[in-house]
Structure 1
């Protein structure tokens, strides 16, 4: 084969595997023009045209539109630049497909209703920027408005754990994100977060903590943390000796009888720093971000209150 060899459109079809109709379409579109025509008017193509057609096939298989392919062939655009742009586009498509797969798995697992499925689809279709804006709006309204005497340290603590879906979320992360997106849109929840966050950030101290003293509170935090890390259920039998010991220590400090009334009183003292819905927010954040535990954001109060009362959290 040499540069003077000319091929009919049929021969070109056999060499490339493309149909005659497709090659004729590319010729009519100006993508791969014939080198010349035979005396009878038939299109003839040289080796350069064959190589160009193979490039066109490659670019089309990689997803490039015909107008872009034409500009590459005409050397108006560099293949490397176009490839980089299309690689980015393919990355976006892959992320969308991964997200769609996760949504479908959640729907299948939960037996979601049509309404829940629509909501889940709508919320997960938000772009990364839109998801961040949704959370930023929640944080701005909760901590940065002029109507709120917001503590910048508290706001920074909450912002440091801003949640967003990973590129390939698990079904659990998708479900958590959808619940989280609904939660942050509620005005009542924003008020709850505003009240509880200062305690969780250590910027506000409960009266019971001040009155009990640093030594007893440090012991309480250590005992509860150890129990929680050991997986001890606050309502289980294993929690009883831990809580009984703490109740007797607090009763001694406050000169009270360690009876059920005192246990209920003690539980009430810890309640301002604990809100079940705010605790739920943090757990959803951990799931979405793929975190197991954030020590600074895991207060002792929920476990202790349940153990003191002997009843599930509200």
Structure 2
């Protein structure tokens, strides 16, 4: 054999950029065996071995293990099969890294303590299937009674929160809060009561006694005010609330004072649960849905404005 066409292990190292000890390990493993040995017993490699070694280096840089590489080199696996499998695996790794990055940014921004950081990481790490299972368990556990409104159940299922692969810090924070919320039995009971109220179709006592005309006027007026971006505790909200309080006071033959305002707030709270509203807002954030003003309940705004300690 013409040894001038052969490479020593040192020359192979210089040509491939791989350490001598790595090439020696590959040789001992049978991945890239030496072509022959010199009279002094040193390993020598031909051009095929050089090309094989460069391929091994490339595949290792792509994250393939030696056993898989050996099967590729022995033509027991096609490069198409291996590339597809590793591309899929890298997709999972990328999603995991993106999620970890989002969690770390939230931790850095909020100055989270160790326990909160661990909780956020654990909940954010759940796979898409595990997150769906968490919501499925919430739905089945919350609406297991026959009294639940099927439309309400369908709406919850259709709006299953789905954390994206590269979530924003706000989405991570919302998902963590959402995961804690759906696991709380008190919240499940609240959600169940709201669904049963919807199923019964029963109006609030204050709506029934005030009449359809004033009730519809109130909803429309508050909705318009909300769409204008007016804060319920701001001075701009005061004229709207004063007008509504006087209208209701006239119907109920009451004095439009602070006590009456608080009574109105309590009556409207029968149809509103702040935790249930919070659930839907978190779903909107996680799913990156545009907040549609017409779908935002008007009574929370009204209740907050009525609770403001101000004589009408």
Same fold (TM over 0.5): yes
Residues 165-204 of structure 1 aligned to structure 2 (within 5 Å) = 165-197=163-195, 204=202
User: Which residue number in structure 1 is paired with residue 221 of structure 2?
Assistant: 223
After superposition, the CA RMSD in angstroms is: 2.6
Asked if the contact 1:6/1:47 (under 8 Å) is kept, the reply is: yes
Classify 1:120/1:262 alpha carbon distance in 2 versus 1 (closer, same or farther; 3 Å).
Answer: same
- The whole-number CA distance in structure 2 between the counterparts of 1:247 and 1:113 is 45
- The whole-number CA distance in structure 2 between the counterparts of 1:182 and 1:253 is 43
| Residue 142 (str. 1) matches residue 132 (str. 2) | no
Asked if the contact 1:200/1:273 (under 8 Å) is kept, the reply is: no
Classify 1:205/1:24 alpha carbon distance in 2 versus 1 (closer, same or farther; 3 Å).
Answer: same
Any idea what SS the aligned residue of 2:44 has? strand
- The whole-number CA distance in structure 2 between the counterparts of 1:203 and 1:53 is 74
| Residue 238 (str. 1) matches residue 236 (str. 2) | yes
Asked if the contact 2:103/2:121 (under 8 Å) is kept, the reply is: yes
- The whole-number CA distance in structure 1 between the counterparts of 2:86 and 2:221 is 56
TM-score normalized by structure 2? 0.88
User: Which residue number in structure 2 is paired with residue 103 of structure 1?
Assistant: 103
- The whole-number CA distance in structure 2 between the counterparts of 1:224 and 1:30 is 77
| Residue-by-residue CA offset, 1:13-71 (whole Å, 9 max, x unaligned) | 22212222222221221111233344544433232222211111100001111111111
Asked if the contact 2:8/2:45 (under 8 Å) is kept, the reply is: yes
Asked if the contact 1:35/1:46 (under 8 Å) is kept, the reply is: yes
Residues 20-169 of structure 1 aligned to structure 2 (within 5 Å) = 20-143=20-143, 145-146=144-145, 148-169=146-167
- The whole-number CA distance in structure 2 between the counterparts of 1:197 and 1:286 is 19
Asked if the contact 1:142/1:190 (under 8 Å) is kept, the reply is: yes
- Extract unaligned runs of 5+ from structure 2: none
Q: CA deviation at 1:120?
A: 2.0
Q: CA deviation at 1:202?
A: 10
- The whole-number CA distance in structure 1 between the counterparts of 2:200 and 2:62 is 54
| Residue 209 (str. 1) matches residue 207 (str. 2) | yes
Asked if the contact 2:268/2:303 (under 8 Å) is kept, the reply is: yes
**Stretch moving more, 290-299 or 45-54:** 290-299
| Match of residue 262, structure 2, among 257, 261, 264 | 264
Q: CA deviation at 1:74?
A: 0.9
- The whole-number CA distance in structure 2 between the counterparts of 1:36 and 1:203 is 88
| Residue-by-residue CA offset, 1:97-140 (whole Å, 9 max, x unaligned) | 22222222222222222222222222222222222211211111
Q: CA deviation at 1:253?
A: 4.4
User: Which residue number in structure 2 is paired with residue 310 of structure 1?
Assistant: 308
Asked if the contact 1:37/1:44 (under 8 Å) is kept, the reply is: yes
- Extract unaligned runs of 5+ from structure 1: none
Any idea what SS the aligned residue of 2:235 has? coil
Q: CA deviation at 1:258?
A: 3.8
Classify 1:272/1:232 alpha carbon distance in 2 versus 1 (closer, same or farther; 3 Å).
Answer: same
Asked if the contact 1:282/1:297 (under 8 Å) is kept, the reply is: no
TM-score normalized by structure 1? 0.87
